[in-house]
């Protein structure tokens, strides 16, 4: 079956295109949409990687909540096209090239990091991660960090409230 | 032929998809008719009456009207998103339905389960993730129209959907605790699903232990689908038509269908989670097939009586004879293939009840004010569903040491 | 085995009491009067006492094989080979100490309810007192030197807090500081001792130490064990107010009287004796150290007894008497009669606690007057106090059959005939005994007999409430019968107390030089002598103070310089202040402050600051305030780092 | 047919790099936030890929934590953006240089 490979490359190309689109478009909401595209394609990749639950959560939380929040704020502030000011010379002349350098570096490094034979899919692949096993790990082994994140969320909510209040 | 036998998955899936699409589309169309009829009765009117017998062809006429209306695209709009929005809305709404099992997973054709387009192991989460994307349709429509009212409508709806999605999800978790699975058909007929009885006569449906959760769910569901009394995104008295003000002809129709598709989806979910899905309240004995037979028979008889007395024009009489035939055919199917017909029958019956509930609410309830909406969602619904979750968890722990 | 398995309960209760009173005391005291504070303060100690009783019962049921009971609750600190757990240990010695601490502590708490009733900072007082009990229990329960040391410092702290309880009174505050600083000198030695112990034996757990010490021979010259013993003894000297670090104890009398009774008579000051007894296997291997202990003890006993003779402040007299009695205990330890030392520790806790409480009652009756010359003739007015105090006096003066007689007699006998016998020390102790009886009866006569030297109209004398008298009576009974464990010795019977403690001290007894046990009759004679000394002291006191009132003055005049010397406490405080304190102050002002601090330290700091400021002035140019520039810097870092990784690790990390 | 894990890793690397570029290149503060989200997503992909490669769940767990942190960050960050927009009337980070000396 060649199907997984096709799916992978389709999603990969889609994701990269989305990322590039995020950079080049000027309308913030378009950037948001392209980011959603990236996320959805990543979710499909997760499915391919045998992590359906993570894929679902990726869409549910990332695309469905966080990005909606972004869109909402953009609409609320009615953010128009961004003006391409270049007040930071260093960002213009050094930052961008270096960014690309970093891109190449990481890609190159990661590409060679694992011996290319590691099976990620196909016949010999392990079965997809069951939700049960996942939850067991999350609530037994990683209980403390889990609780910590819950506290983090709480604090974040409070912080958001305090920050966004007008009458200060 | 041997192609079919070689690729059963592909074929059956395609057939299922096509069938589902057809059925759902028709249902959408006739839901509008149903709604108009019921509301009309509540307001002691006749409702659609002349296009076809009892206005049976009204939806068709509407469809044609939508198709042939002029398609206006506001010049100042952001064209890409403007076009994208309605597609997004409708596609997502239809996709969600594909996850709904309307019958037991063990009924198969060519070794493929027939009653669900796709039976995902974590169907519930997927369903929620897809519906959660539904916000984009509305929000983008509101934004891309690039005019005041749609923007407000979009803002409202996105805020409202985000707010109520939380309660929606939380109210379901209680059921998940009871069922111990995310698979929709397992929730209905799994190892600790909803088969069986309490005290030999109360069906083991989650609605009884989870009544609070159910109430939270149905409230949040109505809000999620932007229906009365939570239809602020399209509050015509304040925002003309809300987010789809600038949409005309078929794009508008897509939003319209998306809304009804969402209604169906949440009703299906409610049925599966709280009302035992396709399970019959009488334990599914062999005799039950007579229930639908009798019902359809009665309907057929009523139609015949109608033909005899009520209907004047010959065309209407003809149409109704077709309807009679349809009813008789359904009755026959239910009688001869009960194992294929009964589960969908119960399922659709339950959904029908929910639909009636929707329409009923629309016919009776006034609309919320926006701040009321928000404070209701955050200050009442969310805490209640949370409390329900906690209580359920505690009780569950006590009962399963 | 409830308590023995959960020894921490005993300690925890007073701590909880202290915390409750300390944190909630103010609101409690305001809302539900002082009853709540009392309930918490006394209740916690009472419960703790009950727990101790239970522990004693369980301990008694234990087979000898399981003694000492050692419970290691959690690892407190580890560093390389070093490991100190939160270890608690119970053996016979601990049992005795526990009973003394919680028992006397309980009585003192009850007494305080009456005595402090009209004081401000009531809850504070009880909070401190409970805290003290907690630390004292930590000290005696501690299964290794570090836990003990925690208690050791803790009781020091509580002593400081309680001496300075009336911190608005300058003398009290100063006394507190003095006590703290003086004891710190000893604690320094104690700490070094602990370090040396670890350096030598690679452990701080008592059991392990003694096992590790087993192979060491008895040192005839000054070796490492001698050094350890002397250093630990230095701590003991500080804590137990022996020569030359005794000066803080008399001043500590500035604190409330119950405090003096509990901390500065019954428990804390005996910690030194406890630690010496606890480390007896080491001391047994360091005869020189033992000799030092014995000498210090005997000299202190005599020396402070002489000072006691001339004091007129009733509590000061008791303070010096305490010092001298502690001297006895060290003498006992020094001559290897640890059991007798602990025995005297216990009896002393009874009668000295009683004396202090009674004195407190007297002061209470006199409305705060402490000068004995302004008392007199109180016998009829406050009979209960008088009787109990008289009993205690008999006990301390060593009149049979009261408790003090047996313990002190044992000590003197051991000093005369024990394995480490030393006639000179015995002589000192004997004279000290005589003096003791003299100044104690002097106190009694001046206070209760003779014509009254205060005027009725200002002071109206009244007996204390029963909440104060109750403890007095209990202690009176104890200081009467407390010594009868050893009574059978008189007719050559066993000494139950010594036998009970025997397991703790057997090891060191084995190392003692062999001696021929002198005859029992001789022992009886010596007991006779001791009693005689007591009676003689009584007689002299009678003669001097119950004769005509002019006689003491004439006596003082005739003694002249000697009297002034004694009356001035040998001017030790003055000497210390001129020889040590003043130069210290001068040095710290002219050298440490002006040169070191202002010159070097401040100079360095300011210099650094200037450099930093100059550098910052340049560096802030980077702060363009543009977020994207900052982001660029981050990326530069990231790229550099990644490049580094790639460079070092090559293609395949 | 099997896909080498390194493909996924390379993809995640590329996405991360693009995120970095976006972070420097974009001026709109909200978009910059999105760039951060993009980087986080890239990291998530790497996590999931590793989890698959070593057939362990820990990677997936970490993805959850990353998502949670991202949510918190988005909440606070957008609140800051709102406050900023109210005070400065601009979303352009070039115009917001409060961190100046």
DSSP per-residue letters across C453-488: -S-TTT----PPPHHHHHHHHHHHHHHHHTTGGGGG
Q: Is residue B308 part of a domain?
A: no
Distance from CA of D99 to the nearest CA of C (A): 4
Distance from CA of D101 to the nearest CA of A (A): 16
Q: What is the pLDDT of residue A113?
A: 58
Closest residue on chain A to D21 (Cα): A99
Of D20, D32, D100, the CB nearest to C623: D100
Q: Is residue B63 part of a domain?
A: yes
Of C621, C626, C632, the CB nearest to D94: C626
Strand bridging mode B202-203 / B197-198? antiparallel
Residue C69 CA from chain centroid, whole number: 25
B120-165 confidence digits (pLDDT tens): 778 888 888 888 888 888 888 888 888 888 888 888 888 888 888 8
Decide if B158 touches A, using CB distance below 8 A.
Answer: yes
Cβ of C631 within 8 Å of Cβ of D94? The answer is no
Cβ of A65 within 8 Å of Cβ of B182? The answer is no
Closest residue on chain A to B159 (Cα): A72
Token pair in block for residue A54: 């993570």
Cβ of D10 within 8 Å of Cβ of A107? The answer is yes
The Cα B386–Cα B375 span in angstroms is 16
Q: Is residue B329 part of a domain?
A: no
Question: Using a CB-CB distance cutoff of 8 angstroms, which residues of chain C are in contact with residue A99?
Answer: 635
Cβ of B143 within 8 Å of Cβ of A75? The answer is yes
Token pair in block for residue C149: 């040391």
For residues C443-466, give the mean pLDDT.
81
Q: Is residue B231 part of a domain?
A: yes
Q: What is the pLDDT of residue C30?
A: 62
Question: Using a CB-CB distance cutoff of 8 angstroms, which residues of chain C are in contact with residue A94?
Answer: 632, 636
Decide if D91 touches C, using CB distance below 8 A.
Answer: no
For residue B49, what are the contacts with CB-CB under 8 A and spacing of at least 6? B55
Closest residue on chain C to D24 (Cα): C628
| Listed residue (D32, D31, D38) closest to D12, CA to CA | D38
Q: Which helix (H) or strand (E) holds C76?
A: strand C69-79
For residues C109-119, give the mean pLDDT.
85
Give a three-class secondary structure readout of C25-50.
HHHHHHHCCCHHHHHHHHHHHHHHHH
Per the DSSP assignment, residues forming a β-bridge with A119 are D4
Instruction: Using a pLDDT cut of 90, give the percent of chain C over it.
Output: 24
Token pair in block for residue B227: 């229906």
Q: What is the pLDDT of residue C48?
A: 93
For residue D7, what are the contacts with CB-CB under 8 A and spacing of at least 6? A8, A12, A120
DSSP per position, B103-115: S-TT-EETTEESS
Higher pLDDT, C50 or C506: C50
Token pair in block for residue C238: 């500080």
Of A57, A85, A166, the CB nearest to D86: A166
Question: Using a CB-CB distance cutoff of 8 angstroms, which residues of chain D are in contact with residue C626?
Answer: 93-94, 97
Which spans in B275-381 are helix H?
290-309, 314-336, 338-364, 370-375
Pairs of residues, one from chain A and one from chain B, whose beta carbons lie less than 8 Å apart: 76
Per the DSSP assignment, residues forming a β-bridge with C90 are C69
Distance from CA of B319 to the nearest CA of A (A): 46
Q: Which of B3-12, B257-266, B361-370, C52-61 has the lowest mean pLDDT?
A: B3-12
Question: Using a CB-CB distance cutoff of 8 angstroms, which residues of chain C are in contact with residue D92?
Answer: none
Cβ of D94 within 8 Å of Cβ of C624? The answer is no
Question: Using a CB-CB distance cutoff of 8 angstroms, which residues of chain A are in contact with residue B140?
Answer: 29, 33, 71
Pairs of residues, one from chain C and one from chain D, whose beta carbons lie less than 8 Å apart: 31
For residues B101-120, give the mean pLDDT.
78
The Cα C416–Cα B112 span in angstroms is 107
The Cα C459–Cα C366 span in angstroms is 6
Decide if D57 touches C, using CB distance below 8 A.
Answer: no
Neighbours of chain B (3+ CB pairs under 8 A): A
The Cα B234–Cα C636 span in angstroms is 50
Token pair in block for residue C362: 């007297």
Cβ of D23 within 8 Å of Cβ of C631? The answer is yes
Which domains does chain D possess? 27-94 (1.10.287.3510)
Q: Is residue B249 part of a domain?
A: yes
Closest residue on chain A to B162 (Cα): A65
Cβ of C635 within 8 Å of Cβ of D93? The answer is no
CA C136-C352-C478 angle, 5° bins = 90
Does the predicted model carry a pTM greater than 0.80? no
Q: What is the pLDDT of residue C322?
A: 92
| Listed residue (C154, C160, C148) closest to C135, CA to CA | C154
The Cα C489–Cα C495 span in angstroms is 6
Cβ of A51 within 8 Å of Cβ of D13? The answer is no
Which spans in A25-82 are helix H?
28-48, 52-57, 67-77
Q: Is residue B183 part of a domain?
A: yes
Instruction: Using a pLDDT cut of 90, give the percent of chain A over it.
Output: 9
Distance from CA of D6 to the nearest CA of C (A): 12
B62-90 confidence digits (pLDDT tens): 888 888 888 788 888 788 888 888 888 88
Question: Using a CB-CB distance cutoff of 8 angstroms, which residues of chain D are in contact with residue A56?
Answer: none
For residues C57-77, give the mean pLDDT.
85
Q: Is residue B292 part of a domain?
A: no
Residue C413 near residue C523, CB atoms below 8 Å: yes
Cβ of A110 within 8 Å of Cβ of D53? The answer is no
Per the DSSP assignment, residues forming a β-bridge with C87 are C72
Cβ of B129 within 8 Å of Cβ of A29? The answer is no
Cβ of A88 within 8 Å of Cβ of C636? The answer is no
Residue A162, CB-side half-sphere exposure with 13 Å CA sphere: 7
Distance from CA of A135 to the nearest CA of C (A): 32
Decide if A117 touches C, using CB distance below 8 A.
Answer: no
The Cα C437–Cα C16 span in angstroms is 42
Cβ of B135 within 8 Å of Cβ of A63? The answer is no
D13-64 confidence digits (pLDDT tens): 888 888 888 888 888 888 888 898 999 999 998 888 888 877 778 888 888 8
Q: What is the pLDDT of residue C193?
A: 93
Q: Is residue B316 part of a domain?
A: no
Cβ of A60 within 8 Å of Cβ of B122? The answer is no
The Cα B357–Cα A90 span in angstroms is 63
Of A1, A69, A134, the CB nearest to D78: A69
Candidates C635, C641, C649, partner chain A, best to mutate (most A CBs within 10 A): C635
Residue A42 near residue D45, CB atoms below 8 Å: yes
Neighbours of chain D (3+ CB pairs under 8 A): A, C
For residues C315-326, give the mean pLDDT.
91
The Cα B246–Cα B232 span in angstroms is 17
List C residues 579-638 in contact with D (Cβ-Cβ < 8 A): 620-621, 623-628, 630-632, 635, 638
Question: Using a CB-CB distance cutoff of 8 angstroms, which residues of chain A are in contact with residue C653?
Answer: 109, 113
Q: What confidence tier does D100 reach under pLDDT thresholds 50, 70, 90? A: low
Question: Using a CB-CB distance cutoff of 8 angstroms, which residues of chain A are in contact with residue B130?
Answer: 59
Closest residue on chain C to D25 (Cα): C628
Q: What confidence tier does C653 reach under pLDDT thresholds 50, 70, 90? A: very low
Three-state DSSP class for residue B245: coil
C525-557 confidence digits (pLDDT tens): 888 888 888 898 888 888 888 777 777 777 777
Number of structural domains found in chain B: 1
Q: What is the pLDDT of residue B363?
A: 84
Per-chain mean pLDDT for chain B: 84
| Listed residue (C274, D62, B393, B385) closest to A145, CA to CA | D62
Neighbours of chain C (3+ CB pairs under 8 A): A, D
The Cα C387–Cα A105 span in angstroms is 96
Of A42, A111, A120, the CB nearest to D10: A111
The domain of B208 spans 2-279+337-399
Cβ of D1 within 8 Å of Cβ of A121? The answer is yes
For residues C186-196, give the mean pLDDT.
92
Cβ of A106 within 8 Å of Cβ of D16? The answer is yes
Question: Using a CB-CB distance cutoff of 8 angstroms, which residues of chain D are in contact with residue A69?
Answer: 74-75, 78
Decide if B165 touches A, using CB distance below 8 A.
Answer: yes
Q: Which helix (H) or strand (E) holds C87?
A: strand C82-90
**What does the pLDDT profile of chain A (168 residues) look like in tens digits?**
577 788 888 889 999 999 988 888 888 888 888 999 999 999 988 888 888 888 888 888 888 888 888 888 888 887 777 777 766 666 677 777 777 777 777 766 666 655 554 455 544 555 666 778 888 888 888 888 889 999 999 999 888 888 877 665
């Amino acid at each position: 079956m060649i199907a997984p490979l096709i799916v992978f490359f389709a999603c990969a190309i889609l994701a990269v295109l989305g990322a590039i689109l995020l950079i080049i478009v000027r309308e913030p909401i378009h950037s948001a949409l392209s980011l959603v595209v990236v996320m959805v394609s990543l979710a499909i990749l997760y499915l391919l990687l045998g992590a359906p639950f993570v894929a679902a959560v990726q869409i549910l939380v990332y695309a469905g909540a966080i990005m909606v929040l972004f869109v909402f704020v953009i609409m609320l502030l009615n953010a128009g096209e961004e003006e391409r000011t270049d007040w930071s010379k260093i960002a213009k002349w050094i930052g961008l090239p270096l960014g690309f350098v970093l891109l190449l570096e990481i890609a190159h490094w990661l590409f060679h990091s694992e011996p290319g034979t590691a099976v990620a899919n196909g016949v010999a692949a392990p079965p997809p991660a069951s939700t049960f096993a996942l939850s067991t790990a999350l609530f037994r082994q990683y209980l403390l960090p889990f609780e910590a994140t819950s506290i983090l969320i709480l604090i974040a909510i409070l912080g958001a409230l305090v920050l966004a209040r007008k009458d200060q | 032929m041997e192609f079919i036998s070689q690729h059963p998955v592909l074929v059956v899936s395609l057939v299922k998809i096509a069938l589902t699409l057809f059925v759902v589309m028709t249902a959408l169309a006739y839901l509008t008719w149903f709604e108009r009829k019921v509301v009309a009765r509540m307001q002691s009117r006749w409702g659609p009456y002349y296009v076809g017998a009892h206005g049976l062809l009204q939806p068709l006429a509407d469809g044609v009207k939508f198709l042939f209306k002029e398609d206006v695209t506001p010049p100042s709009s952001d064209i890409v998103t403007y076009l994208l929005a309605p597609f997004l809305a409708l596609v997502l709404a239809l996709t969600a339905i594909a996850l709904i099992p309307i019958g037991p997973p063990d009924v198969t054709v060519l070794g493929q389960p027939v009653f669900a387009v796709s039976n995902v192991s974590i169907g519930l989460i997927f369903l929620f993730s897809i519906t959660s994307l539904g916000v984009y349709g509305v929000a983008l429509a509101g934004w891309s129209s690039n005019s005041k009212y749609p923007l407000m409508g979009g803002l409202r709806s996105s805020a409202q959907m985000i707010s109520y999605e939380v309660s929606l999800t939380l109210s379901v978790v209680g059921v998940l605790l009871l069922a111990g699975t995310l698979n929709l058909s397992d929730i209905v007929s799994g190892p600790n699903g909803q088969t069986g009885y309490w005290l030999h006569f109360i069906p083991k449906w989650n609605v009884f232990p989870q009544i609070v959760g159910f109430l939270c769910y149905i409230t949040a569901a109505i809000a999620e689908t932007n229906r009365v009394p939570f239809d602020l995104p399209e509050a015509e008295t304040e925002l003309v038509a809300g987010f789809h003000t600038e949409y005309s002809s078929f794009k508008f129709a897509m939003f319209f269908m998306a809304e009804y598709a969402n209604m169906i989806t949440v009703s299906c979910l409610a049925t599966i989670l709280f009302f035992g899905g396709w399970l019959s309240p009488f334990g599914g004995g062999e005799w039950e097939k007579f229930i639908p037979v009798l019902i359809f028979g009665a309907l057929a008889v009523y139609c015949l009586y109608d033909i005899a007395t009520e209907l004047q024009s010959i065309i209407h009489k003809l149409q109704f004879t077709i309807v009679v035939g349809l009813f008789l055919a359904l009755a026959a199917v239910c009688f001869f293939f009960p194992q294929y017909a009964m589960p969908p029958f119960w399922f659709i019956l339950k959904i029908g009840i929910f639909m009636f509930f929707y329409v009923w609410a629309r016919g009776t309830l006034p609309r919320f004010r926006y701040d009321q909406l928000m404070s209701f969602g955050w200050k009442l619904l969310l805490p209640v569903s949370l409390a329900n979750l906690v209580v359920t968890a505690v009780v569950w722990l006590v009962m399963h040491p | 085995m409830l308590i023995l398995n959960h020894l921490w309960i005993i300690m925890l209760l007073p701590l909880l009491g202290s915390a409750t009173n300390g944190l909630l005391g103010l609101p409690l005291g305001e809302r539900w009067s002082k009853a709540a504070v009392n309930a918490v303060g006394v209740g916690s100690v009472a419960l703790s006492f009950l727990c101790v009783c239970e522990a004693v019962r369980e301990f008694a049921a234990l087979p000898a094989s399981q003694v000492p009971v050692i419970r290691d609750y959690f690892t407190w600190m580890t560093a390389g080979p070093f490991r100190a757990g939160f270890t608690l240990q119970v053996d016979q010695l601990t049992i005795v100490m526990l009973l003394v601490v919680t028992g006397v502590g309980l009585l003192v708490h009850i007494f305080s309810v009456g005595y402090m009733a009209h004081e401000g900072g009531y809850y504070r007082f009880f909070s401190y007192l409970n805290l003290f009990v907690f630390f004292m229990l930590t000290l005696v329960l501690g299964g290794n030197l570090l836990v003990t040391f925690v208690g050791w410092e803790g009781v020091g702290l509580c002593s400081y807090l309680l001496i300075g309880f009336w911190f608005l009174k300058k003398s009290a505050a100063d006394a507190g500081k003095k006590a703290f600083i003086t004891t710190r000198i000893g604690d320094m030695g104690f700490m070094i001792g602990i370090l040396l112990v670890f350096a030598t034996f690679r452990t701080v757990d008592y059991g392990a130490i003694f096992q590790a010490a087993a192979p060491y021979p008895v040192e005839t010259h000054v070796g490492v064990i001698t050094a350890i013993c002397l250093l630990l003894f230095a701590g003991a000297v500080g804590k137990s107010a022996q020569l030359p670090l005794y000066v803080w104890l008399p001043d500590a009398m500035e604190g409330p009287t119950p405090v003096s009774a509990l901390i500065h008579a019954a428990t804390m000051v005996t910690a030194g004796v406890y630690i010496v007894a606890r480390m007896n296997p080491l001391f047994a291997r360091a005869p020189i150290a033992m000799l030092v202990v014995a000498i210090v003890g005997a000299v202190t006993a005599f020396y402070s007894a002489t000072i006691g003779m001339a004091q007129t402040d009733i509590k000061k007299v008791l303070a010096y008497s305490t010092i001298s009695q502690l001297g006895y205990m060290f003498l006992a330890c020094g001559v290897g009669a640890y059991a007798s030392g602990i025995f005297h520790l216990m009896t002393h806790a009874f009668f000295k606690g009683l004396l202090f409480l009674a004195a407190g009652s007297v002061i209470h009756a006199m409305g705060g007057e402490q000068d004995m010359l302004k008392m007199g003739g109180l016998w009829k007015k406050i009979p209960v106090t008088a009787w109990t105090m008289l009993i205690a006096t008999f006990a301390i003066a060593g009149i049979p059959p009261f408790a003090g007689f047996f313990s002190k007699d044992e000590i003197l006998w051991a000093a005369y005939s024990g394995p480490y016998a030393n006639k000179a020390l015995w002589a000192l102790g004997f004279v000290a005994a005589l003096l003791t009886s003299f100044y104690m009866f002097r106190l009694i006569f001046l206070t209760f007999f003779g014509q009254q030297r205060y005027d009725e109209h200002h002071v109206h004398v009244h007996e204390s409430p029963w909440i104060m008298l109750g403890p007095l009576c209990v202690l009176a009974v104890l200081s009467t019968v407390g010594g009868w464990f050893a009574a059978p010795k008189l007719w050559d019977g066993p000494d139950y107390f010594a036998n009970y403690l025997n397991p703790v001290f057997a090891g060191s007894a084995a190392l003692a030089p062999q001696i021929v046990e002198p005859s029992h009759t001789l022992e009886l004679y010596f007991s006779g002598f001791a009693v005689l000394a007591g009676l003689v002291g009584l007689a002299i006191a009678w003669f001097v103070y119950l004769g005509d009132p002019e006689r003491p003055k004439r006596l003082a005049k005739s003694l002249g310089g000697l009297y002034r010397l004694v009356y001035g406490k040998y001017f030790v405080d003055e000497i210390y202040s001129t020889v040590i304190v003043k130069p210290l102050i001068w040095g710290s002002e002219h050298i440490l402050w002006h040169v070191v601090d202002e010159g070097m330290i401040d100079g360095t700091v300011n210099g650094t600051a200037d450099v930093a400021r100059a550098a910052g002035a340049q560096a802030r140019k980077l702060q363009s305030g543009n977020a994207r520039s900052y982001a660029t810097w981050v990326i530069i870092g990231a790229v550099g780092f990644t490049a580094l990784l790639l460079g070092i690790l090559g293609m395949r990390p | 047919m099997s896909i080498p894990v390194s493909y996924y890793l390379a993809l995640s690397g590329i996405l991360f790099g693009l995120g970095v570029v976006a972070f420097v290149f974009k001026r709109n503060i909200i978009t910059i936030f999105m760039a951060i989200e993009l980087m986080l997503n890239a990291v998530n992909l790497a996590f999931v890929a590793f989890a698959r490669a070593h057939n362990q769940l820990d990677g997936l767990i970490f993805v959850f934590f990353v998502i949670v942190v991202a949510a918190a960050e988005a909440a606070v960050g957008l609140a800051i953006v709102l406050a900023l927009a109210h005070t400065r009337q601009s979303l352009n980070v070039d115009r917001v240089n409060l961190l100046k000396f």
